[in-house]
Amino acid sequence: MPGNPASALTCFYIYVLPALNKSAGKKFEGLKIVKRKLKNTYQKKSGLAHFLKSVSDDEFVEISDSQSSAMLNTFAVANGLIFLPEEIELVDAGNLVDVFLF
Q: What is the pLDDT of residues 8-33, one digit of tens each?
A: 999 999 999 999 988 999 887 789 99
DSSP labels, the chain: --SSHHHHHHHIIIIIHHHHHHHTT-S--S-EEEEEEESS-EE--TTS-EEEEEEE-SSEEEE-S---TT--HHHHH--EEEEE-TT--EE-TT-EEEEEE-
Q: Where are the domains of the chain?
A: 31-101
pLDDT class for 1, splitting at 50, 70, 90?
confident
pLDDT class for 3, splitting at 50, 70, 90?
confident
* In the predicted structure, residue 62 carries a pLDDT above the cut 90: yes
What average pLDDT does this structure show over 38-42? 97
Q: Note the CATH architecture for domain 31-101.
A: Beta Barrel (2.40)
pLDDT class for 46, splitting at 50, 70, 90?
confident
